Amino acid sequence: MSSLNLDDFSDLIERPDSGVRRDAEERRERLAVPPGALGRLDELGEWLSAAQGAVPVRAVERPRVVLFAGDHGVAELGVSGRAAGSAHELVRSVLDGASPVAVLARRMGVPVRVVDAGLDCDPDLLPEDVVRHRVRRGSGRIDVEDALTPEEAERAVRLGVAIADEEADAGTDLVVLGDLSVGGTTPASALVAALCGTDASVVTGRGGAGIDDLAWMRKCAAIRDSLRRARPVLGDQLALLTAVGGADLAATTGFLLQAAVRRMPVILDGVVSAACALVAQRAAFRAPDWWLAGQVSGEPAQAKALDRMALEPLLEHGVTVGEGTGALLALPLVQAAAALAAELPERPAGSGSDAGEATPAEAGSGSVAAGDGEAR
């Protein structure tokens, strides 16, 4: 019997400060740029201000990319565009600076942290600081067996909690969350289908690596068989992760929950992080208030999960590579929103739509700016 109950997180997670958000909204109304002129950037700035508990909002200066890595036994069925057990190659590409997320992170000056939760490879192939947290070597084939034992599922969730604590303690002020997995979109889709009560065909996509029609059919069948195993344990999130999740998915879920406890904002990447977020929401309904959806990945399960959590993606560029890439592309947008909210000047006193009739002296001072505002 596990000593961990994910429902306990519900009592630990509070929403971002609504009073601070109102103050941020009022400050926005006083800025020289007309309300609404910056579109969604206004909303992002106010959200971040509430998350930080600060008006004006502080700049996002210490972001970090966190990637949980793992292999999934279901990849043996040919449901992925990559060979089963090859997720360590994705990790090596990131560490060598040769993957899309590594290139972008280097350009943006954002550090990347890779956590091996369940890779199926010899630990000697990767650095000690990556593999030292491994819960098990690969996750079970979820169509016919549990992904994890109950003890492994608890260890994986606690691993995610510990990583979130380490990042918060280190001063990380925003996390770009992604995964490095082979076969990971299959359990992610199974989790979304189970939690949303939908059929396998509704959530089955073609994965970041892309698969042909035959592989899609195999993937759909694997998700369908996994759903039969998931439905009996729907009332217990930890049991659900045990049955049809995986070490990396369980760790990601724990990370998301503890990040919300620690009031650390997170940008979600693709279907894997969205599925874990949906599991976390079931445990703690306030937790999604601390997350942003970075991008549209094209995976139907991601769209289903984000809709259920009322999270609207920031970007839609057709990026399907995964690995946190799409979420990292959204980071400059969030940083821009913070900079605009903090640094744009307020209108001079007595100007704007709430001003009364101007005196001649007032009319001569800043009249061009005032007239421009009225014309708009």
Q: Which residues are catalytic?
A: 323
Residues 243 and 149: beta-carbon distance below 8 Å: no
Q: What are phi and psi of 176, to 5 degrees?
A: -95, 115
Please report which helix (H) or strand (E) contains residue 175, including its range. Answer: strand 174-182
Sheet holding 112-118, edge to edge: 112-118, 63-71, 174-182, 266-268, 291-293
Q: Which amino acid is at 153?
A: A
Which residues does residue 63 pair with via DSSP β-bridges, in sequence order?
174
Q: Whole-angstrom Cα distance, residue 356 to residue 133? A: 64
Q: Whole-angstrom Cα distance, residue 192 to residue 302? A: 8
Q: Whole-angstrom Cα distance, residue 21 to residue 43? A: 10
- Is the bond leading into 56 cis (omega within 30 degrees of zero)? yes
Dihedral sign (CA 248, 236, 188, 142): positive
